[in-house]
Every structure is written in structure tokens, then in C-alpha cells.
Structure 1
Amino acid sequence: MVNPYAVWNTTQSNEMAPHRGSSQPVPSIYGALPFPSQLADNPPLMVFTFTGFNPTIANCTILGPNGSPQFGVVTEPALPGYTILKSMNGKSVALIEWREPAKVEIRGLAPKQPVSSFLKVSSDGRYRIMVVGSQEFMWLPDHSASISVGNSEFWGRMSRSVGAITLEMTQNAVRVGLLQACIISTVLLQSGRNID
């Protein structure tokens, strides 16, 4: 909320007046609502937890924000070269084919393609570019041992802890359909396998 009286006395040296050259609105002194820039820096995140590794992320359960199972990552012993992402109703959502070169397919989002095309390494080798439809998103390591995904805005991040991997996504990222692509990217990036 912006202080509606901040525009008054802008010619005088006043702490409540906006500073010249500043595009920041002056926060309201009324109410306990957070200042808009705080909201922009910290969008609410939906947390998805990869857990129950058997023995790796290639066989695990993904819990949703409410703690209930949302997806399963399955690598059948009879088909060790394939990992399937399944919804809890048993529907196959995505497929990873581990034979070299590794390939990935996400129903409705990404046709079958080499992982090196879906998660291509940047020219300087510092990050990966996830291609979904005609859009590109960067998976960029940050200073806190997590990897953030975004383009012109922040979409989410993955991080590893003891016994679990966490994928945090903005509500907007889930709404526009990036969840499955980010789940598959997490499996690929945390698998420990050669994906290039």
C-alpha cells in the first residue's frame, strides 16, 4: 500500500516525501500490510517434497503442499532403462529414457527429445536452459546450495536435504503448467546420471 499523502510537500526536505530519482513508492504508515517490494521479492511458494528414495530419486514419492502424495517416480526392475512420472491415479505424465543419449518426454509439454536439448548447458557452462514449448527457463545454482528456475521472473527452486529433495514453485508457475517440467528436471538434475 502506498502512502497517499506522500506526494504532498515533495519540494521540501521531508522524510516522508519520495527522494528524487527514486521510483520506489513510499510505504503507508497505516495498517500492517507488507510493503509491495517485499511481496515481489518473496512470492508465496508451493512446496513439493521428493521422499522415500528406493534407493534413488528414480524411485520415489512426491508429496504436495498439503503433505499428501501427488506423483510417483517409478523405475521398474524389469525396465531399468526407463523412468516414468505417474500421477497418483496411475496416469503416465512423463518418461525418461536413460539409454545414451538420454531422452525425455512430457505429455502435452515437451515431445520426446534428447535431455541435452530439453536441459541444454549454457555457452559459459554456468547454468542449464530448460525449453518448454517456445519458452526458455534458466536453472541457475545460487549461493545457498539450491538451484533456482526462472527467466525474467522467479519461478521456483530445488534444494537437497538429508533424505529428501524439495521443489518450491510459485503459484503462477504451477498455474501455467510448469510443475511437471520442473519435476522431471529435478529428477534429471538430481539423478547422478550423465544427462548430456
Structure 2
Amino acid sequence: MHPYTQGRWRNPANPNAPGSSRNPPPQPSVFGALPDPYRSRAPKPALIPFTFTSFRPNVLNCTVTGPQSRVYFRITTDTPTVGYTVFFDSAGQPVTIIEWRNHPVVEIRGILSKRSTSDWLPLSQNGSHRQMEALGKHFVWVPGGEYIFLYAAGVGQPQVYAQVSRAEDSVTLELTAEAIQIGLLEICVAATFLLQCGKSID
């Protein structure tokens, strides 16, 4: 199933798809469908923005810039190899590869071994969130309002690690300093791309 049509996840690449509209109707909070810790949001920490921009013509081919407009990643699709998306770091080295099969697979160099995107970012049964395993920890991506939030999974006060928003010609991933310190930058860039690329990842 398409990642945006389940649980009314908006599909920015195809506004005519189910669950998509220019002005979607108000929706009930997804927090009510999650375990108790996700119903109340923790105080928002300072966030560091990374912007997917310079679309050619969309996020499938773009540049990711961070603080001081520094280029952190360049993302290319079908170049040089058809059927692949490759993320290159600032030194021009490939760090993330996505192979677009019937069931796409993703690999992040030194971080995530090759696996299907549906296994790495599985959609919950009720379509309210996606799970993610990274660095030996469990996280959840939860859409709420104009954002998709990344929380640490588990009990206690929910901790926000990142949030994703979208404009007409850009996508913004905002990370906490802690998220960057523990090594979530490459992981969250890859996850953000998969959640916003408009392709089926299931």
C-alpha cells in the first residue's frame, strides 16, 4: 500500500491520489491512536534545519543543505544507473543507495545493512505511524498537523528527535542536537527522502 494513503498520509507527489488534497479536511489527532506516551508532546527542543532543495524537478534529484548553507548531500535518481537513487556526501562519496524494485531496498554505508524499505519503515496496522529501527533503538514517525515527528519509542515522556515539513519546492528536516550527536543525520535524511519521494515503499 502507498505510504501516504494509509492513515491519510499526504502524497505530495500526486495530489490526486487517495488521502491527498490541496486543503485536506481536518483530521483527528493521530496521538489518540498511539500508546499513552505519544498523546502529550514533550517540550520542543532547539532544532537544526536541513533542507532538501534545488529540485530537478522534484525531491528525487535534489541537494540537502544544512547550517550556513553548507551542502551535506546530493541526491540523484536514475543517474548514473537507472533504477537507483544515490546519496553522495560533501566529498562526493556514496553514502545511501536505494534500489527501486517492486519492493525497494535501502542501504546506508556503515549504518544500515541492505534491507527492504518496508522492513525498515513498516507502517502500523492502523496506518497512524511508521516504525524505524536505528542505532539499536526503536523510533516512530508520526504525522501531526503540518509535520511528521520522529519520537523515541517506549514508555515515559515522549522525546522528539526530528520533524519534517514540506513546502512547494523544498522539504525541511529539523533535527535536535542530540539526534545529530548520536548519529541520526544520515538515517533521518534517508527516511525523510523515502517518506517524501512519492514512491511506494511498502
When normalised by structure 2's length, the TM-score is 0.74
Match of 2:33 in 1: none
Give the alignment of 1:122-133 within 5 angstroms: 122-133=124-135
CA–CA separation in structure 2 for the residues paired with 1:104 and 1:154: 24
Match of 2:166 in 1: 160
What do the CA deviations read for 1:101-127 (whole angstroms, capped 9, x no partner)?
100011121100000011011122210
Q: Is 2:193 aligned against 1:195?
A: no
What do the CA deviations read for 1:143-182 (whole angstroms, capped 9, x no partner)?
2x11000114110100001211000000000110011111
Structure 1 runs (4+) deviating above 6 angstroms are none
What do the CA deviations read for 1:41-61 (whole angstroms, capped 9, x no partner)?
131111000001111211100
CA–CA separation in structure 2 for the residues paired with 1:82 and 1:43: 35
Partner residue of 1:185 out of 171, 191, 196: 191
What do the CA deviations read for 1:52-84 (whole angstroms, capped 9, x no partner)?
111121110001121121111112444221001
Give the alignment of 1:1-196 within 5 angstroms: 41-143=43-145, 145-151=146-152, 152-196=158-202
**Letter in structure 2 aligned against 1:167:** L
Q: How many residues align?
A: 156
CA–CA separation in structure 1 for the residues paired with 2:133 and 2:83: 23
CA–CA separation in structure 1 for the residues paired with 2:125 and 2:107: 24
Any gaps of 5 or more consecutive residues in structure 2?
A: 1-41, 153-157
Percent of aligned pairs sharing the same letter = 38
CA–CA separation in structure 2 for the residues paired with 1:78 and 1:95: 12
CA–CA separation in structure 1 for the residues paired with 2:142 and 2:125: 13
Any gaps of 5 or more consecutive residues in structure 1?
A: 1-39
Query: 1:186 is paired with a residue of what secondary structure?
Result: helix
Query: 1:126 is paired with a residue of what secondary structure?
Result: coil
